[in-house]
Amino acid sequence: MTGDSEFRANFLRIVGGQDHADAGAVPAPSPAPPTPYDNLPAGIFTTDGDGVLTSLNATMAGWLRGDAGQLVGRPFAAFVVEAQALEADDGGTETGRVTLVAEDGTSFDAVMMQHEMASGAIEGVLLRSGVMPADPEGDDTAAPPDWLFASAPVGIVILDLDGLVSRCNPAFGRLLGTDADNVTGHPFTDLVVPDDQGEVTAALSKVVMGTARAAHLDVRMPGPRGRELAASLYMSPVRQGTRDGAGGVSGLVLHFIDATEHKNLELQFAQSQKMQAVGQLAGGVAHDFNNLLTAMIGFADLLLERHGPDDPDFGDIMQIKQNANRATNLVRQLLAFSRKQKLEPVILDVTESLSELTHMLGRLLGETVELRMRHGRDLGPVRVDKGQFDQVIINLAVNARDAMPTGGVLSVTSSRLALAEPLRREVDPVPAGNYVRIDVADTGTGIPADVLAHIFEPFFSTKQVGEGTGLGLSTVHGIIHQSDGYVLVESAPGAGTTFSILLPEQSADAAEVARRAEKALAEADLTGRATVLLVEDEDAVRMVGRRALENKGYTVLEAPDGEAALDLVAARKDDIDLILSDVIMPVMDGHTLVKLVRQELPDVKVILMSGYAED
């Protein structure tokens, strides 16, 4: 309480003190227009600095048994029988108790709250008698009125001094997915997740003891269907005693605002920032790194054509090629996580693909892990890169194996999932639609909550140094999301882990069109003898490309950049059958080169190649 004497005097001036008989009446010049507060269950009105009504809502006019247009312009004091200012808070809100008389002579008690607006006028809020009880010995503002308590859109809880829930409104019950009566009588801290209980208890104690006038903190609470809620909690004391609020604390009133969706958006934003950062890293290294690897692998292949398995150098060359391929896979994993890899999606039968993987999974899991494969019925096709889909299942299987060091069961189950409404998840909300669901479940050690929040982050790993790159699950996440799918995970220590992959089910018509296109592409004849203009700025890559093409019978013209390529086109345009060009080159990129070449050779065939292209 501020004890602001000037504001309190203003309150008494507006309500006119004890006697309203001399206040007079000023007729309203015209009917008052509707206000945006007409439908509120509270009376809202404004006055000028002299206490004359300037506007009031339909509720207030109804209480006064008059028409809003006729009431505007009359002193508010004309309706006041008795008034007493109670207290003023730091926010400039004055609370008072008034007895009002309506136009028909009936009177009623009410609690009025007012604050001074920027224009200097006073805005008042009236709550009817019986809705806000007027206890002669108590504090009229100790607790919310029944109508506000019951219909408030936010959760409200009243606690006694033992921390037990004495009352809660329906909104709080809906927040928890239960009936409000099921919460009454229970310790409030039981409704909060264990990790937050200590902080909540400390805050409640400070408010009860008076060391804090109020408190605000964010808490997590178990919600319906196993969903964890995030809520903003506001707590303040309930006082009883004298009207100036000097009485002791009899309990606490808590207000809850559901902040789950807000927290989910924060998590999604943070995740997108992480993915963007890794995507930029992947894009920065992929082009140059792939050029080096292309040269290594290409020259290794050329050497293997002359050095067969009986050659003493064969093993050394194979080691070079295998390690270069491992490095290539590492770049692909980075690109998969950042969703920037080039996928080649095809229409896929999940049952058939999983069946083909059964033998390989059996070898990967070993003898101590039992593989159980269950296929659902009437599964529609999905559209996904076949190789990447296999990689996803293999990565999940290997992780499951490592989580069962003493053996266990790995279940791979497919089923059809039809979502009539979006599936709300913390990071990945799943839109409504039809999906093919693949569950990969193990009976292993489970994943602690603090680890579960980071499993899809790149380079995050709980394995020992040298046992993994930390890119397995981030790769899974990237591949599935780039295929317009979703990855869900459920796990608890000692209860195993289940990864669920949701891929959009394709309609029969779309699947048939895609199959025909794939068949036409597979049957196309791409062989032949021709003169090829090879444009590549990396000398080693250009040399590998030239030798590989020449070994297959092609005539090759080389250009180290776009400008040199244009010179060759001008000199040999009648001889060139195909242009094979890198995309990312200094001075002039592959796309610009093609546009300029088309001016000279409008019908020339062009292939653009790149280990990584941003667009």
Q: What are phi and psi of 372, to 5 degrees?
A: -120, 120
Encoded tokens for 599: 């001016």
In angstroms, the CA 370 to CA 399 distance is 14
Tell how far CA 131 is from the center of its chain. 41
Tell how far CA 474 is from the center of its chain. 17
Predicted pLDDT at 242: 39
Closest CA to 581 of 542, 612, 555: 542
CB atoms within 10 A of CB 492: 12
In angstroms, the CA 283 to CA 277 distance is 10
Question: 444-476 pLDDT, tens per residue?
Answer: 888 887 777 777 776 556 554 444 444 567 778
DSSP 8-state symbol, 426: S
Predicted pLDDT at 462: 56
Question: 160-218 pLDDT, tens per residue?
Answer: 888 899 888 888 888 888 887 788 888 998 899 888 888 999 998 888 888 888 888 89
User: What is the DSSP secondary-structure string of 20-79?
Assistant: -TTS-----SSPPPP-TTTTSSSEEEEE-TTSBEEEE-HHHHHHTTS-HHHHTTSBGGGG
Tell how far CA 251 is from the center of its chain. 37
What distances in angstroms separate CA 374 from CA 116, 352, 354, 391, 440, one per listed residue? Answer: 70, 12, 10, 19, 11
Long-range contacts at 117-124 (CB < 8 A, ≥ 24 apart): 117/46, 120/49, 121/46, 121/47, 121/48, 121/49, 121/54, 122/10, 122/11, 122/14, 122/46, 122/47, 122/49, 122/51, 123/44, 123/45, 123/46, 124/14, 124/43, 124/44, 124/45, 124/46, 124/47, 124/76
> Which residue positions in the chain have pLDDT lower than 70?
1-42, 85-96, 111, 113-148, 151, 226, 239-247, 268, 271-272, 274-276, 278-279, 281-284, 287, 329-343, 425-428, 458-472, 508-528, 611-615
In angstroms, the CA 149 to CA 127 distance is 13
Predicted pLDDT at 440: 94
Tell how far CA 553 is from the center of its chain. 55
Encoded tokens for 85: 């200012």
Closest CA to 445 of 489, 493, 407: 493
User: What is the DSSP secondary-structure string of 302-371?
Assistant: HHHHHS-TTSTTHHHHHHHHHHHHHHHHHHHHHHHHTT-S---EEEE-HHHHHHHHHHHHHHHH-SSEEE
Radius of gyration of the chain (CA): 37
Question: 345-354 pLDDT, tens per residue?
Answer: 888 899 998 9
b/e map 324-337, b = 16+ CB within 10 Å: beeebeebbbbbbb
Predicted pLDDT at 465: 41
Predicted pLDDT at 395: 85
- 533, containing H or E segment: strand 531-535
Predicted pLDDT at 498: 93
Predicted pLDDT at 501: 92
Residue that the structure tokens 């592409």 belong to: 521
Predicted pLDDT at 243: 39
